[in-house]
Structure 1
Amino acid sequence: MRFGGGRPTVLTSHQEQYLVELLKNLELIGKSVELGRKWLKYFLNRWKGELKVIKEKKIEASRRNGFTENIRCGWFEKLELILRTNNLIARPHVIYNCDESGFSDETACEMVIVSHETKQAYEQSGGSGKSFTTSLICGNAAGDILPPFIIYSAKNLNPQWILGGPPGSSFAVSDSGWITKHLFADWFKSFIEHTKNVSKSVLLIMDNHSCHISIEVIELAKENQILLLLLPPCCTHALQPLDTATFSSAKQSWKRIVTKYFLRSGRKTIRKIDLPVLFKELYSSAFTPKQVLAGFSRAGVWPFDSNAMKEKVARQPLATKQLNQCPQTTSDQNAIGSTVQ
C-alpha cells in the first residue's frame, strides 16, 4: 500500500491503525515504546494527527499515582488558610521554598511515542547519572534566591572545593552526598540569618523528608517566628515551586554547562575543584528572578491559585489512607513553628 508518492509501507493502513491504538493503550498502562529513528520519522509523518514525540521525564510510580484530587484540594485549602491567617497573601517576599536536588553528569532521557493529546511522559526506569553533587536551593515568591548549600560525597571538605562558587555559597560533605538532619539544621541557621530582618512571620515550604524535621529545627523555627509547612507525600512534582518550573529549566542549563566543560577539559566526570565555578555559571543563568517566580506561579503558591495543577492529578489514584490525607498544620505533623491562629 502507498501513501502519496513514497515507497510502499510495510504495514497496511488497517495494521497501522491497530498499532496506533496499541501504542495508546500501552501508554495508559505505563509502558513506553522505543523505536528506531528512521522508521519513526516516516511512521509519525503518516499519523501526525494522532501521535507525536515528546521527551519523557523522570518520576517514580509513587509520585505518578499519589497526587489525587483530594490531596490537591486539601493542600490549597490549608495553604490559603495559612496565608490569610498570618497576613502573608500579599507578602511574597516572606513565602519561601527550599529543596535539594542532585546535579548529575549524565542527564539525557529517551524519546518515546505517546498519544497526540499527551503533554508529558515520565521515565519509569534508568538511573539519574553516574555521579552527582547535591545542592540545597531556596527562593521566595518575590523572585529572590538565597546562596546555595552544596554537599559533596566525601569524608572531609577540601578547601579547594569551595572556591569560585556563587557569592555567599556554603559547602559541606556527607558520606552519601545527600542532606542529613545535622546538615539541614546547619543550613536552617543560615536561613534564619537571611530572613532575620523580616518584621513578621516567614513561611518556609518544603517536602516531608525526614532530614528536614528535628527537635533543633523545630525549636529554632518557633524562636524565630518561622512557619514550616510540609508538602504532602509523593506530590512535590506538582506542588513544590522549585520542582514545578525552576529546577526543570536549571537542569537543562546544567546539561549545557557540563557538556561544554567536558568538551573543553576532555574529562568524563566533573572534578570537585571545578564544580563551584560551574555552579556559579548555572546560578547566574538559571536561577533568575523570572525563573524563580515561574515556579511559585505554576505551583499556585503565589499568586495564590487554588485551581493550579489539576492537570497533574493521577488518572488512577492509589486507594490508601495516607494518600487521601490533607496536609496538616499547627499541632499536626505538616506545619511546625509559630502557632497558626
Structure 2
Amino acid sequence: MRKAQTLDRGRLRMSNSTVMMNHFNLLKETIERLDLGNKPSQIYNVDETGFGKGLAAEDRVCVTNTHSHSRQVVTSSHTTANVCVSGGGKVLPTFVIYEKSFPSGAYRDGIPGDWLFGTSPNGYMDGELFHKWFKQVFLVHATKERPLLLIMDNHESHLSLDLVETARDNQVELYCLPPHTTHILQQLDVALLRPLKKAVTGLAVSLGYANPNLIIGKNRFAQVLRTAVDKVFSPYNIKTGFPKCGVCPVDENAKDKGKLTPCDPEFSQPGPGGDNQSTSICRPDPLCETCGQFVRGHPLVTQGLIPAELADIFLPIIGTAKKQKSTRIVTTSRVITGEQQYQI
C-alpha cells in the first residue's frame, strides 16, 4: 500500500523537462569547469529535515474489524537536523537545531563531540545558523582537496553574502537547485531523508514498548537521531543517492521521470511489465490566436479526465492578468559563488 502524494503548485510548475534540461546543462558545465567528473568525494549535498510538531508512530495502517490508532512519539517542539553527504559516501557531523532553547540535562551524552548544536525561535534553519554550520562543520570535516562543489536547495536560509564570501575564500562552489525540484534532483531527498525519519520514528516506537506513555523529549532526541543516522547513512546508501539524481556521473536520463508533472512529454510511470513507459496525460495543445481556446479540442476531455459538460469550466484564461508588484523569482538552478551571481 502506498500513500498518495499531493503535488503542490510549485512542483507542478517546475517539474518539467525544460527545467531539468537547463539544470543538467549547468551542472555538467560546472563539474567540467571544476574538473570534478571523476572526483565524487569532492561533491557534497546538504539539506535539513524536521522532527516534532506531532510526528506520529504510523502514517498508515491496515486493519480488519478493529480500531487503528497512531500516537505522537516525539516532542511537540520542532527540531531540525542538518545533514551533509558526499558522492564518495562520507557523512559529515550532524547539526541539530532546537526550538527556542537548548534542552535541560545531559542532552549531549553519547553524541559525537563533532556534532553541532544550535537554537532558533522556531527550530528551523536560518542564514546565520547555516553560515555557522558551513564554517564549523563543512570546512572542518569536508575533504581538504579543492575545489569542492556543495549542492543545496534555493531556500533563503542558505543564501547570504557572508556565506558566499566564505565559500569563495575556501574554493567551495555553491550550486543551488531549481526551486520545487528537490524531490527529483536532491540526493538527500531522494535516497536518505525519508528513511531517516522512518528510522527515528521506529526507534521511538520501540522504546515506547517498555513505556506506553513515553514521548522522546528534547533532551533525548539527539541520542535517537544519532542511532538513526548510523543506521541509514551507510556509505552504500549515500553513494547510490547521487546517481539516482543524475550526479556522479552527470546523467539527465537518470532522473525519475515518474515525478515529472503528468502533463510533461517525458512523464512516465510503471507499465504492465514494471518498466517505466511514457504516459503523459496531456500533450501541449496550441491555442487559437483569435479566441485563445484550444485548437484540437479540450485536452482533459479528449483524455477522458472530465466530461464534456465541464469543458467550459476548465478553459484557458483570456485577457490581461492583473498587474502584480514586480518581484525577482528564481526559476532555475544557479551557482551563487560564480562571478555573475556574486556581482549581483
TM-score normalized with structure 2 length? 0.70
Unaligned runs of 5+ in 1: 1-52, 113-127
Q: Which among 72, 94, 98 is matched to residue 152 of structure 1?
A: 98
Q: Matches of 1:236 and 1:322 in 2, distance apart?
A: 20
Contact 2:107-2:222 within 8 A present in 1 as well:
yes
Contact 2:42 2:86 in 1 (8 A): yes
Give, as a single letter, the amino acid of the residue that structure 2 aligns with 1:204. Answer: L
Matching residue of 1:20: none
Contact map agreement 1:166 1:276 (CA 8 A) in 2: no
What residue number does 1:284 align with? 230
Give the 3-state SS of the residue equivalent to 2:334 in structure 1: coil
CA RMSD in angstroms, aligned pairs only? 2.9
In the TM superposition, 1:15-26 aligns within 5 A as: none
Q: Distance in 1 between matches of 2:112 and 2:80?
A: 15
Counterpart position of 1:33: none
Alignment CA distance shift 1:300-1:323 (3 Å): farther
Tell me, what secondary structure is at the counterpart of 1:315?
Answer: coil
Q: Deviations over 1:241-292 (max 9, x none)?
A: 0001111222222221121122234335321111121112111101111111
Supply the AA of the counterpart residue of 2:259: K
1:48-107 deviations in whole A, cap 9, x for unaligned? xxxxx4233466442244211101111111111111111001000010000000134326
Given that residues 75 and 326 in structure 1 are in contact (C-alpha distance below 8 angstroms), is that contact kept between their aligned partners in structure 2? Answer: yes
For residues 295 and 131 of structure 1, the distance between their equivalents in structure 2, rounded to whole angstroms, comes to 30
Of residues 91, 103, 109 in structure 1, which corresponds to 2:59? Answer: 109
Note closer, same or farther for the CA distance 1:140–1:196 as it changes in structure 2 (3 Å cut). Answer: closer
Rounded Cα–Cα distance in structure 1 between residues aligned with 2:224 and 2:161: 35
Q: Does 1:327 align with 2:333?
A: yes
Give the alignment partner of residue 85 of structure 1, picking from 14, 24, 33: 33
The 1:209–1:189 alpha-carbon spacing in structure 2 relative to 1, beyond 3 Å, is: same
- 1:181-211 CA-partner distances (Å, limit 9, x unpaired): 111110000211123622x200000001111
List gaps (5 residues or longer) in structure 2. 63-73, 265-283, 285-315, 317-326
Distance of 1:322 and 1:244 partners within structure 2: 28
The amino acid of 1:328's aligned partner reads R
Q: Give the match for residue 63 of structure 1.
A: 11
Correspondence for 1:228 among 160, 174, 179: 174
Residues 243-258 of structure 1 mapped to structure 2, 5 A cutoff = 243-258=189-204
Distance across 1 between alignment mates of 2:33 and 2:192: 28
Partner of 1:109: helix, strand, or coil?
Answer: coil
Distance 1:129 1:80 in 2: 43
- Aligned equivalent of 2:165, options 191, 198, 219: 219
Q: Residue by residue, what CA displacement relative to the aligned partner does 1:104-145 show, whole Å, maximum 9, x if unpaired?
A: 432633489xxxxxxxxxxxxxxx995442100000001100
Question: Could you tell me the TM-score, scaled by structure 1's length?
Answer: 0.70
The answer on whether the counterparts of 1:65 and 1:316 sit within 8 Å (CA) in structure 2 is no
**What is the rounded CA distance, in whole Å, between the counterparts of 1:57 and 1:257 in structure 2?**
25
Instruction: Please tell me whether the aligned partners of residues 71 and 323 of structure 1 are also in contact (alpha carbons under 8 angstroms).
Output: no
The question of whether the paired residues in 2 share the 8 Å contact of 1:147 and 1:167 is answered with no
Task: State whether residues 70 and 324 of structure 1, in contact with CA within 8 Å, keep that contact through their aligned partners in structure 2.
Answer: no
Query: 1 or 2 for the larger relative contact order (CA 8 Å, sep ≥6)?
Result: 1
CA distance in 2, matches of 1:242, 1:273: 26
Aligned residue in 1 for 2:46: 98
